[in-house]
Chains A and B, each alone.
Chain A
Amino acid sequence: MALQAGALPDVDFNSRPSLAFYFSVALIAGSVIALQIGIMRVFSVGSWAHFGSLVVSLAMFGFGLTSAVMCVGKPWFERHWRGAVKTALLLFGPVMVASNLIAQQVPFNAIFLVSDPAQKWRLFANFVLYFLPFLCGALYLGVVFLKAQKTFNRVYFADLAGSGACGLLFLLAMYVFKPDDLIVAPLMLWLAGTVLWFIAVSDRRGIIQAVAAAILALAGHFALPPLLDIPKIAVSDYKGVAYARKFPDAKRVYERATPFGYMEIYDSSYLHFAPGQSDNAGFNLPEMPSKAYRGMYIDSEGPSGIIRTLPASQTEYFRYLMMYYPYVVKKAPETFVVQFGGGLSTAMALRAGATSVTVAEGNPMVLNAFRTDAELKKFTGDILGDKRIEVIDYDGRLYAARTRRKFDVIDLALADSAGLSQPGGFAIVEKFSYTREAMRNYMRALKPGGVLAVTLWNKEEPPKSVLKLYSTMVAAARDVEGQDVANRFFVAASYLSTATVLFKKDGFTPAEVETLRKHTAAMSFDEIYSPGFKADVSMLDATLQGYRDQFFYEGPPPDPTGPGPEEKEPHDAPPPGAPADEKKDGASNGEPSKPKVPATDIGRLWWHYLINGGIEQVADRYVFDTTVLTNHQPYFAAYIKVKDLLRFTDRLELVQDEWGYLLLWATLAIAGIAALTLVLFPVVFGWRTIFSRYPGKFGAVVYFLCLGLGYIVVEVGLISHFMLALSNATVSASVLITGMLVFSGLGSFLSERFLDRARSFMPKVFVAIGALLIGYGFLLDPVLDMIGTLPYVVRILACLAIIFPPAFLMGFPMPTGMTTLGRLGKDHMFLWAWGINGSFSVLGAALVPIVATSFGLPAVLLVGGIAYLVAIPAFFRVLLPLPGKPAAA
């Protein structure tokens, strides 16, 4: 590769760089962010989104590493800047394609991470591979910043605005490219940015080389996989869709790539659904529906069942599903279905004789499929076209909050897929539809005597989600109906299947309770609670202890003749039928023991203490956290109590569904170590030499640390907050990233004007940011709830308007600090500051979900606000001039 600078004219980016230069910075920065989102998409579809976040977070340390190396080797980079940039740029595109393609050939399987040592190396290979392209991008940006440090504001503006705009562009690209080919989007941005760079530095040969590299990369991406018979994207064998694809008669009948996800629908005689179906169905039903379902997969995850329009002879089948419960007591109701999903609840409501069905769905992709696809309409009997149906095209919880209509039945059933998902199917996702606030709104939207029915998967043992649901619904009921709610509830469950909670406004009558109990018995379901139900409280201690022992057994070993310390040994409770005396052979022939159903027992006890008081003490003793879901902490996941975290590190296999949460802690720990290492790197190599003459260096570190941490904490925290209004993680992330970065870019651009007055002006900016963020923390929720009911485009605009004030102001501190360093001649500090900022951004991003799950979403904004306030005193240290030089401002 040609690295010579010789014949080319020198360029001074500190005076008046060309427009091409700024656009180059914007597009390469945009390419980096597009690559970031792209990799996360690849992980979502191919394996597991949480590992995508982990990989990307760590890859972003490419920026920290580059800064540290450049800080130490600054003279070299100043001499060879042209070659360094050219190399980085020409490599960036091909490397991103090559890394992605190679990484897809060494996929790792999360479920074997603990049991198979090889998986760790595969994960490591993924880290390294995805790290490489970011290193290239970081090197380019680092050198450019170094070359233009005196006009950092403008370059930074280009950087931020470019990232922001390209984030939005990438969102649109998801309509065009399937996940397999998403990498093309950052590649195109890279090509444009690279060509513009070579125009800016008048390097014609570079342009040709860039185009050649792009052709090479594109050819590699499109031609190599078919040639070598390798996949472009490795979808894990254990993803839901991988099974569907292997069914002999599987046929994909629908496919669409959108920013809301990659949706596929498969048809196969092998797809069977009957969520929460009674075991008695097979004995009592004259005719079981056959080929009744198609499987819907979003990002390879699923399936969610889409039910065919059933002939009248088969509709009796619905009675055998647990979600049928509300229709046992409500005839000819007006029903509100909170989430359409695959349409099962809606079909059931229609078949159960509802006079009207109002159905909400927040995912436009799903509605679009059911409304427009001719084949799907035929299969479902055009369910959304039924004249009794009214469709609400935003989240049901928002509709419930705003509507004046009242309903006889409100149904929120199994909004998620079949629940046979990967470990981590239990990701840290905001479940705003299940919060105390949402439940209150559903309850208030009921007519007198109306019934709210919530059905949830009950496949956990020990149970976590259902206990949280129980507590949340009782808390909400007390908010709405007063303390005595004993006769408001009826609860049934099927062991390791589903659970349904019925809430009736004004309470169930004894006759209704009797009807429900009969239905429960006829279906072989377990009654968990009904008015007057007596739980056997004598079981409490043993049940709680049994659950604790599963994880933290500390008694003597079951068999002292067991193996030596190094041998592998399981330690399980004996199975049913095992003889008490192991010396005796033959099956036990004593009394048949009562079936062991601990989840059912704890459910009953839970309701006893919820209704009669004392649940707090029981919850304290329960092995997992069962905090009520609120809009501030809308999580079913994160059920491990923080104080128990370390005790689980050697028994991860027992809490697979919590790995998403544990990975967050792991990411935080790794990010913390990496950030500190990168910060210390220049310290070790140059604290005495390079930095010795710099006054206020410690203050500068704190300053840029606060900015890095504060900015990202606010950005990521607001993404979660704005899900309240935007209902979709990808859209919320894109709107936030775009809005924040573009507005901050604007702030950065304007900050130049205040550079001379920075000493007096900046403290005001910091105070304003702090006040805004802390205020937002407390006031944002109701505003976002209201915005959520507006048309989608208006929602996005309203969200952008909310972001503007803090984001604009948050654009000031970073470039002001950096330009000040540049103008004061603190060149090494300039590079280092950029790295500190980047490293602590990664740390901050990892911190957000931890703070959110532990203390709630408002606490996240609080942390951000405080970080900006702490930056005030540190800012004055940044202003300290080099000895013998005039002060900056």
Chain B
Amino acid sequence: MRRAIRIGLATLAVAFMALPAAAQFKPIKPDQSPPTDSRESYIAWMKANRGESEKWLGQRWDRYQALLRNKDVWTDKTKRAFLLTPREVFAAANPAVAQRGYEHAFLDMGYGVTMSGPHLQSRMTEVIDVKRGEKVLEIGTGSGTQSAFLSELTDKVWTIEIIAPLAARTRGIYDKAIAAGYEEFKNIQTKQADGYYGWPEAGPFDKIIVTCGIDHIPPPLLQQLKPGGIMVIPVGPPGAQRVLKVVKQVASDGAVSVTREDIYGGKIVPFVPFTKLVDGEIKGSHNR
């Protein structure tokens, strides 16, 4: 454990190197959005408001374009949320993957948890269709990226992490980021607990997003989901998960039913790109 704490501290120190200086920060209000007409104008606007580095902004923009093409995001609100979420800040918690925050791959964050890739994360977020003011619960804080994403969509986010040192590490990242000016992260309530039981004091929730695997859907979470509420939950081992969309319906006679659907239409969620297209033809894959 001593070793784990040492590593935790070291990584924490690195994490903050990805944060821009507080002086450059202007809070972005919910009705403000970065321009999406060109890469240059996006980067210029973000630099002016957030002071984030051009390197990360460029990568974020390029990934955003890939998200659009793959139909992982399609509403303006989710596009905006992605464009505002600094993935690099969270990837930096593990120095080995610090440079890879905008890659399609899922990343090792230590403690046996992964940070989901931007495509999967965006798709899961888009599928639950978060409206401003809605209450959203995340199970499995992990790297913290998913809740950061959600905090750009609503001001009521709760997130639970089961692994104590990881929960502390990610809380530390939020605090530092808030101090640096990411005020929307104040919308995120964190706690270390067993997410299986949800957060009953804060419920019921409009949307629930589970980001860790389990062999069944926890009944307490279904209970804390409002009628008509949507939950997304992955099934399977890290890196080979299928993601279920679960909708809770209550009939007029009060009978509750649950429908399950796969957000990839039954497709295995890939963690590296599928095939490489050259002049419209498949020419191998993008695997290195």
* A contacts, CB < 8 Å to B: 109, 111-112, 114-118, 229, 236-238, 242-243, 246-248, 269-270, 272-277, 279-283, 285, 288, 418-423, 425, 459, 461-462, 494-497, 524, 546-547, 550, 553-554, 556-563, 565, 567-579, 582, 585-587, 595-599, 650-654, 656-657
Contacts and interface: CB of A to CB of B under 8 A. Distances in A.
Given A576-B245, A651-B275, A656-B239, A598 B71 contact: no
A565 B277 contact: yes
B69 A420 contact: no
Contacts of A285: 219
Contacts of B267: 461, 550, 572-573
B66 A569 contact: yes
Given A496-B235, A572-B119, A653-B272, A554 B2 contact: no
28 contacts: A237-B108, A272-B214, A275-B215, A279-B246, A282-B219, A420-B215, A421-B237, A425-B237, A461-B242, A496-B236, A497-B235, A553-B275, A563-B69, A565-B276, A565-B279, A568-B273, A569-B69, A569-B273, A570-B104, A573-B267, A574-B71, A577-B129, A582-B68, A596-B261, A597-B266, A652-B287, A653-B271, A657-B240
Contacts of A585: 74-76
Contacts, number: 253
B272 A420 contact: no
Contact of B162 (A247, A422, A570, A579): A247
B199 interface: no
Interface in B188-239: 192, 194, 196, 213-220, 222-223, 235-239
A109 B110 CA distance: 12
A114 B288 CA distance: 8
A599 B236 CA distance: 15
Given A557-B277, A570-B274, A495 B239 contact: no
Contacts of B263: 575-576
A129 to B, nearest CB: 21
B164 interface: yes
B285 A587 contact: no
B103 A568 contact: yes
B29 interface: no
Which 8 interchain pairs have the tightest Cβ spacing?
Answer: A282-B219, A237-B112, A595-B261, A598-B266, A573-B265, A279-B258, A115-B105, A650-B285
B266 A462 contact: yes
Nearest to B233: A496
B264 A572 contact: yes
Nearest to A654: B268
Contacts of B261: 495, 576, 595-597
Contacts of A524: 257-258
Contacts of A571: 70, 273-275, 277
A553 B264 CA distance: 15
A650 B283 CA distance: 10
A459 B235 contact: yes
B44 interface: no
Contacts of B71: 572, 574-575, 578, 582
B262 interface: yes
A599 B268 CA distance: 12
B272 to A, nearest CB: 5
Contacts of A118: 96
Contacts of B65: 563
B215 A568 contact: no
A865 to B, nearest CB: 40
Nearest to B194: A270
Interface string B115-126: 000010001001
A114 B274 CA distance: 12
Nearest to B69: A559
Nearest to A414: B215
A97 B190 CA distance: 45
A246 B4 CA distance: 11
B92 interface: no
Nearest to B118: A570
B132 interface: no
Given A275-B216, A562-B277, A546 B129 contact: no
